[in-house]
Amino acid sequence: MSDTYTLYNSTVMDHFMNPRNMGDLKDADGVGEVGAAACGDIMKISLKIKGGRIEDARFKTFGCGSAIASSSMATELIKGRTIEEAMNFSNQEVVEALGGLPPVKIHCSVLAEEALKAALEDYVKRNPESAAPVAKPEPVSA
């Protein structure tokens, strides 16, 4: 038998073997790093955001093939989205775009959702004016 046995489909294998958007972004506007308590894997996503839209995204993942494929696909999917759209991003989208993951590997895609949201939160923390406008109290006159 010459073929390597794998539980992953060809799309997952492609994103694992040829990951897109790997690395860091110089002068990133938001960076999020999360870890999976169950397996110890770590994922970091960096974002470049312009005009309220994700212009570029990169990842660094220390983890399994499914985690690497999930970060690769997630960074592909979120480019061009607004902050609000990206805040609603879910791991389900990654799983569907990858054509499915083995049930025991679904949590790896959750890591991509969490890393993205952590990066967006970091961006909002650095740019509070980008968050949803909050009504300011009227100035009190003396």
Q: Catalog residues that contact ligand FES under the rule CB under 6 A.
A: 36, 39, 41, 63-64, 66-67, 105, 108, 111
> Whole-number minimum distance, CB 108 to ligand FES, in Å?
3
Amino acid at 119: A
Q: Cβ atoms within 10 A of the Cβ of 43, count?
A: 27
What is the set of active-site residues? 39, 108
The residue behind tokens 């040829």 is 18
Given the complex with ligand FES, which of 12 and 86 has the nearer CB atom? 12
Given the complex with ligand FES, which of 49 and 74 has the nearer CB atom? 74
* Separation CA 21–CA 125 (nearest Å): 24
> Whole-number minimum distance, CB 16 to ligand FES, in Å?
11
**If you compute the radius of gyration of the chain from its CA atoms, what whole number of angstroms results?**
17
Amino acid at 36: A
Given the complex with ligand FES, which of 66 and 91 has the nearer CB atom? 66
The H-assigned helical ranges of the chain are 10-17, 65-78, 83-87, 91-97, 106-126
> Whole-number minimum distance, CB 5 to ligand FES, in Å?
18
